[in-house]
Amino acid sequence: MVRAERAERILTAAADLLLAWGYRRVTIDEIAHRAKVGKGTVYLHWKTKESLFLGVLIKEQLQSHYSQLEMMRNDPLEILPSRRAGGLFREFLGRPVLRALYTDDSDLLGRLNDTAKKEFAHLMAEGDRITGCQFEVLREHGLLRDDADIRHQQYSLMAIITGFFTAEGLLAERAPDTPEVRADLLARTVHSALETSVPDSVRADAAAAAAPEVIALYEHLAELSAQEMSRQLRG
């Protein structure tokens, strides 16, 4: 088994156990047993249990980045905040580890939650910067409203998304029937708050023109995430 394949098995085992038992209860012995490797083999890849689980978290983020990039490449309209918000919501529902990270689930993540915030602070800061650059590009192409400060628009976007994420737990019994309906509600809310109202054909042409620059921004973010993934691995 090549090194990369072995590391992937260990990450998968760690993620499964994290969801089943929570960070506090999982041991390296149990991860090694599930991955069918020796305990020492786990430590060949990661120096500590903490670095291994940080690898689990960054892997989830990286897969989310790749998924979003694929959608943007296939459909330029996916660069719009409303479409990306809907995509993030679907990712949120479909990836339990990512959901725990986005909602600060201390029961599942324990102290790993605080460590992740510190370790990934540079990625979060870069993500904020890239969103600001994305908004500037969208304004240049007439796709984003220009009647508010971009920083305020970024805050509004994150507040709306956070509200929908939180509602999944707090308002589960009152939520509309399907996740797709809820994703569409989120997209419509973001569109109303941030985006311009233009004919569909104009929006499509403008998105196609803006897409290469926006995609390049998120390719850069994915590359930084991949570098962080490598950093967590033992050299």
pLDDT tens digits, one per residue of 168-214: 888 878 777 788 999 999 999 999 999 999 999 999 999 999 999 99
Q: Does domain 1-45 have CATH number 1.10.357.10?
A: no
Q: What is the pLDDT of residue 69?
A: 95
d(CA 83, CA 212): 16
d(CA 113, CA 105): 8
Q: Does domain 57-232 have CATH number 2.60.40?
A: no
Who contacts 5 (Cβ-Cβ below 8 Å, separation ≥6)? none
Q: Give the side-chain half-sphere CA count within 13 A for 195.
A: 24
Which letter, b or e, does each residue of 90-103 get, where b requires 16 or more Cβ atoms within 10 Å of its Cβ?
A: ebbbebebbbbbbb
Closest to 149 (Cα-Cα) out of 186, 189, 194, 187 = 194
pLDDT digits (tens, 9 = 90+) for 8-39: 999 999 999 999 999 999 999 999 999 999 99
Residue with tokens 């991860």, as numbered in its chain: 31
d(CA 33, CA 222): 31
Average pLDDT over residues 44-68: 91
* Residue boundaries of the structural domains of the chain: 1-45, 57-232
pLDDT digits (tens, 9 = 90+) for 83-125: 999 999 998 888 888 888 888 888 888 888 888 888 889 999 9
